[in-house]
Amino acid sequence: MKITRRNFLKGSLATLFLAGSGIPVYSSTKTKKNLVVIMLRGGMDALCAVPVIGDKNFEKRRKQLILDDTIKLNSDFALHPVLEGFNELWKEKKGTIVHATNIPYTERSHFDGQNLMESGGKIPYKVKTGWLGRGMKAAGLKQEGLALALPMPLILRGVPKNNNYFPTKGKLPTDKVLSLLKDVYKEKSEDELIGMLEIIKSRPKERSYAADDLYSLANEAGTLMREPDGPRVAVFEVGGFDTHAAQGGVHGTHSDCLKDMDLIFATLKKRLKDEFDNTLIVTLTEFGRTIKQNSGLGTEHGYGSAIFMGGGLLKQSQVYTDWPGLKNKELFQGRDLNSTIDSRSVYASAMSTVFDIDFNTIKEKVFWGEDLQNLSDKLFKA
């Protein structure tokens, strides 16, 4: 690492000034814009996915986990070599990484952390809706969300009638049975079930086998989102990032998970075709991992991580960071990459851009007026 935190910040700002302010304002544009969120469960190791170049503090703590053949992004950061799809986006100026960022949560529990990364709150399990669901509500979007998972993730809750897709084989009941059920649900004020039955009624009556791997799900999502009246929001999940042992380097468990994430980026780009230019993909994780490897060649729960973003709504390809450094005193509690950017600022700015809604409205209605930074002009096209 040749730069200090101070001059890195200076460098970043210079770039940003060149692009102008670009503060988003409410727009009535009718262009359909899509937001895709990929949740990376288990704690994504940002120092494995986007390693810092030439930092001895890093290298000495990760002797067996240092990657060979990384893809150099700029003078300071490299990309994990399995992220080929993302690298293509980077080359096309459609890939951005926000580094050293996280939700404001430091307790290192997966489950509390995942609850907060989806709710956007600060106290685990207190908020029953997700930041994305509330953002959609603030933008007046209904029936626009699609989860590529069997359950409806918390992140999408808060706006009615979201849909999900996860294939199974079998036959749905007759319309008469569905109508009778709907009458019963109405009588018993089962509003949520009524909403779901309405969605189910529009599905094919007989479903034959379809694959449920990430590639197939991303293909389906891309096909649906490409349609003018298709969903505008999609949520994916990739699990398995919790590599306490045998994390691996270029090959291994962590890199397999990154490959899964990469597959979604690449497949969506291919399937969305021109609509990829009106799309923004962002990732989300509960925390990063310790800088130091353990003796099982894994890493422990940490704090700061990174956000991967792809799509034509990005301003440019960049590693956007307020780099905290990796010296002992710069680490969070002496063990973790610090977080210098509240990742909710990135998500709020993303929603402001994609949903064409004022940042402050998002800040107030989705994040309870908390002190978040509008990063729209730095990260996204106006």
The tokens describing 83, both together, are 């992220």
Exactly one of 27, 168, 328, 360 binds other proteins (CB under 8 A); which one?
Answer: 168
Residue 180 touches other proteins, criterion: CB under 8 A: yes
In the bound state with other proteins, the residue whose beta carbon lies nearer, of 35 and 297, is 297
Residue 256 touches other proteins, criterion: CB under 8 A: no
Residue 196 touches other proteins, criterion: CB under 8 A: yes
Print the binding letters for residues 328-357 with other proteins: x by CB under 8 A, - otherwise: -----x------------------------
Residue 277 touches other proteins, criterion: CB under 8 A: no
The tokens describing 310, both together, are 């792809």
Rounded to 5°, angle at Cα 186 from 182 and 190: 95
Least Å distance between CB 216 and other proteins? 14
The tokens describing 181, both together, are 């059920």
Q: Distance between CA 189 and CA 259 in Å, rounded?
A: 44
Q: What is the DSSP string of 198-220?
A: HHHHTS-SEE-----SHHHHHHH
Helix (H) or strand (E) holding 9: helix 5-18
Residue 297 touches other proteins, criterion: CB under 8 A: yes
Q: Distance between CA 127 and CA 157 in Å, rounded?
A: 10
Residue 25 touches other proteins, criterion: CB under 8 A: no
Q: Distance between CA 145 and CA 102 in Å, rounded?
A: 24
Least Å distance between CB 86 and other proteins? 24
Exactly one of 66, 193, 224, 382 binds other proteins (CB under 8 A); which one?
Answer: 193
Exactly one of 172, 277, 322, 365 binds other proteins (CB under 8 A); which one?
Answer: 172
Three-class SS of residue 117? helix
Residue 63 touches other proteins, criterion: CB under 8 A: yes
Q: Are 239 and 42 in contact (CB under 8 A)?
A: yes
Contacts of 189 (CB under 8 A, 6+ apart): none
The site for other proteins (CB under 8 A) is made up of: 41-42, 63-64, 107-112, 124, 128, 147, 150-152, 157, 163-166, 168-174, 176-177, 180-181, 184-185, 188, 190, 192-193, 196-197, 199-200, 203, 207, 239, 242, 244-245, 292, 294-298, 300-301, 333
